[in-house]
Amino acid sequence: MATVTVKNERLVGGTAYTQANAGAGSARWERNYARVLVATDVLILVVMLALVMIVAPHPSIVEVTRYDFALPAVGIGVALLLGILALLSLTGSRTPRVVGVGSQEYRALVQSSFLAFTTAALLAYLFGVEGLTFILAYGLVATTAGLVITRWLWRRWLVAQRRKGRMSNRVLLVGSEESVAATARDLKRTPAAGLHVVGACTPSGRVADYIPGTDIAVSGSVDKVIEALHRVDADTVLISSANELSAATVRSLSWDLEPGRHHLIVAPSLTDIGGPRLHTRPVAGLPLVHVETPRYSGGKLHAKRTFDVIAAGALVVLLAPVLIFVALAVQFTSPGGVLFRQERIGLGGEKFHMLKFRSMYQDAEARLADLADKSRDSGNDIMFKMKDDPRVTGVGKVLRRFSLDELPQLFNVVRGDMALVGPRPPLEREVTQYADTVHRRFLVKPGITGLWQVSGRSDLDWDETVRLDLFYVENWTLTGDLTILFKTVKAVLKSEGAY
């Protein structure tokens, strides 16, 4: 029986456009980047497993006592290598939707290594294999660390490329002008996601016009998405609001897109809700999205408190020389006490005294009223923030730049007033101006650092600070806390947005 090859060709702008060419650039970099990751994974696994076997007490032979024969350790290493590589593929650690942003890539790496080595340990126990304890224990640590570090390095390179507009999906936004503008702003704030907006389709369909408040050109109407997709050479359609499109239209659009080259993304109207709270479940052909309500009690909360106490106590001990040096610098460079105690609002709206190294002159509070108007002019009607604040001492500027003035808050954490990670602890005068919804930030303890700290620090305006704090309160996880702590170190070293 003869086969017929159908070439999907459309007339766009007076010229024939072959769909096979659409999205080719995106597919090419995705394939090439995945191949690079495979090669790197193989290299790291070979090196780490070889090093572990070289330093193992009995690296050459392992005994299978139950069946009275021996196996070469190299064979065990090859089996582990192949097993981890297979699991890395099965867990999707190299898929375009995972690399570059989020923690799913790292979770896949840890899960793959852990599952491979625990399976090997179980088989060793069942078959009575001796001599593998060292290889399995140290191999798990070495391979996991090697994979995570190399993937982190590759991610840094990928994010740098994406900030330049390279190695990203070209996105066509579809929806109302308001939703398109909001989605475009959110994507622009997160270039690491690799979603570069190149056009938009709106109900008006005013071609060559721009979305108000953005530099996004209108590329067509919502009923001519495919033509607009080709016109701007996009490979991804992102529906920012579905009110303008019927279910049949969205379904038809998904059929018109070419598998493997085009992507369809639907953004539900669930703003500032994190992935851990969202679960999809198809029911009778409906893609239902389940949203879990936030929980502020139970084992997770106790685990967070335990981690905070242990980590803060350890940091106090490790940073004791720094604490002493900073205290002496504050004491001998300006009159006044070493510590600054300020009343803040914490968990449940309770007041507590937050500790900081003094970074201002003694009369700072008395001079605040005269400077408040300048802070409002900079876009912060509620929080007082000012660059080049004249009340800050010379030493204080250095302390603030590197957040060293915040170190005494470790004692607040040990005492239970604060957590290592959480929303910013506000002043009482700020709370009196809060909208009702903002009071949700008091459902958890305030933190020394948080999303606001790693997302711009003092450069953020009030609305953005509130949005980040509320997002944390409603979506916090222990894994997320560790990620924020890691990013805090980076933000402090870069010292951007600190004043």
Burial call 295-311: b when 16+ CB within 10 Å, e when fewer = eeeeeeeeebeebbbeb
The residue out of 139, 163, 187 marking a domain boundary is 163
Residue 9 bridge partners (DSSP)? 18
**Same-domain check for residues 265 and 317:** no
Read off the pLDDT of each residue in 137-146 and give the average, rounded to a whole number: 92
Dihedral in degrees, nearest 10, Cα atoms 71, 77, 83, 89:
-160
Q: Give the pair of three-digit tokens for residue 115.
A: 């599952």
CA distance 14 to 199: 20
Average pLDDT on 254-262 reads: 76
Output the pLDDT for position 474. 77
- 329 and 448 in a single domain? The answer is yes
User: Residue 460 in contact with residue 468, Cβ under 8 Å?
Assistant: yes
Tell which of 163, 188, 206 closes a domain: 163
pTM attached to this predicted model: 0.64
Distances (CA, A) of 132 to 59, 66, 136, 378, 420: 9, 15, 6, 63, 39
Burial class (CB in 10 A: 0-12, 13-18, 19+), 229: buried
Q: Note the pLDDT tens digit of each residue in 329-357.
A: 998 888 888 998 999 999 988 999 999 99
Residue 255 is part of a domain; what is its CATH number?
3.40.50.720
Same structural domain for residues 220 and 337? no
In a domain, 47, yes or no: yes
At residue 402 the predicted structure's pLDDT band, cuts being 50, 70 and 90, is confident
CA-derived radius of gyration, the chain: 28
CB distance 419 to 413 below 8 Å:
yes
The CA–CA distances, whole Å, from 359 to 19, 333, 355, 449 equal 62, 10, 12, 18
- The pLDDT of residue 147: 95
Residues 133 and 116 in one domain: yes
Containing structural domain, residue 79 = 24-163
In a domain, 242, yes or no: yes
**Residue 292: inside a domain:** no
b/e string for 165-191 if b means 16 or more Cβ within 10 A? eebbbbbbbbbbbebbbbbbeebeeeb
Q: Residues with Cβ < 8 Å from 93, sequence gap 6 or more?
A: 37, 105, 108, 109, 112, 151
177 with 303, same domain: the answer is no
| Predicted pLDDT at 19 | 40
What burial letters (b/e) apply to 203-228, b meaning 16+ CB within 10 Å? eeeeeeeebeebebbbbbbbeebbbb
Looking at residues 226-240, what average pLDDT do you find? 86
Q: Does residue 232 lie within any of the structural domains?
A: yes
- Pick the more confident residue, 2 or 40: 40
Distance CA(371)–CA(390), nearest Å, equals: 9
- Inside any domain, residue 224: yes
Instruction: Place 169 in a pLDDT band, splitting at 50, 70 and 90.
Output: confident
At 150, which amino acid appears?
A: T
270-286 as b/e: b if 16+ CB within 10 A: eeebeeebeeeeeeeee
Neighbours of 58 (CB within 10 A): 14
Residue 382: pLDDT band with limits 50, 70, 90 = low
User: Are 200 and 142 in the same domain?
Assistant: no
Domain match, 179 and 47 both: no
- What is the per-residue pLDDT for 371? 56
Mean pLDDT of the region 212-229: 81
Residue pair 477/102 in contact by the 8 Å Cβ criterion: no
Confidence band of 446 (pLDDT split at 50, 70, 90): very high
Per-residue pLDDT at 190: 80
The mean pLDDT of 157-184, rounded to a whole number, is: 86
Q: What is the mean pLDDT of residues 402-416?
A: 92
Residue 414 has pLDDT above 90, yes or no: yes
Shared-domain flag, residues 313 and 429:
yes
> Are residues 200 and 313 located together in one domain of the fold?
no
pLDDT at 15: 35
Token representation of residue 237: 């359609």
Note whether residue 281 is domain-resident.
Answer: no
Mean pLDDT of 219-239: 84
- Answer yes or no: is pLDDT of 315 > 90: yes
Residue 15 lies in a domain: no
Start-end of H helices in 192-246: 225-231
> What's the whole-number mean pLDDT along residues 10-18?
36
Instruction: For the chain, count helices (H), then strands (E).
Output: 16, 16
Domain membership of residue 288 (yes or no) is no
Instruction: Please check the confidence at residue 280 and state whether its pLDDT lies above 70.
Output: no
Q: Are residues 145 and 174 in the same domain?
A: no
What's 177-201 look like in SS3? HHHHHHHHHHHHHCHHHCEEEEEEE
Mean pLDDT confidence for 305-310: 94
Cα–Cα distance between 141 and 143 in angstroms, integer?
6
Of 144, 163, 182, at which residue does a domain stop?
Answer: 163
Same domain, 159 and 189: no
For residue 461, the model assigns a pLDDT of 67
Q: Look-up: residue for tokens 């989605």? A: 183
Q: Say whether both 354 and 391 belong to one domain.
A: yes
Segment 119-134 mean pLDDT = 79
Average pLDDT of the chain, as a whole number: 79
Distance separating alpha carbons of residues 253 and 248, to the nearest angstrom: 8
Angle between helices 299-318 and 478-494 (to 10 degrees): 30
pLDDT tier at 20, thresholds 50, 70, 90: very low
Predicted confidence (pLDDT) per residue in 22-33, tens digit:
445 566 788 889
Dihedral angle sign, alpha carbons of residues 489, 491, 494, 495? negative
Q: What is the mean pLDDT of residues 372-378?
A: 52
Instruction: Mark 344-374 as b/e (b = at least 16 C-beta within 10 Å).
Output: bbbbeeeebebbbbbbbbeebeeeeeeeeee
Q: How many CB atoms lie within 10 A of CB 417?
A: 21
Q: How confident is the model at residue 4 (pLDDT cuts 50, 70, 90)?
A: very low
- 37-78, pLDDT tens digit by residue? 999 999 999 999 989 888 877 655 555 555 555 567 677 888
Domains in the chain: how many in total? 3
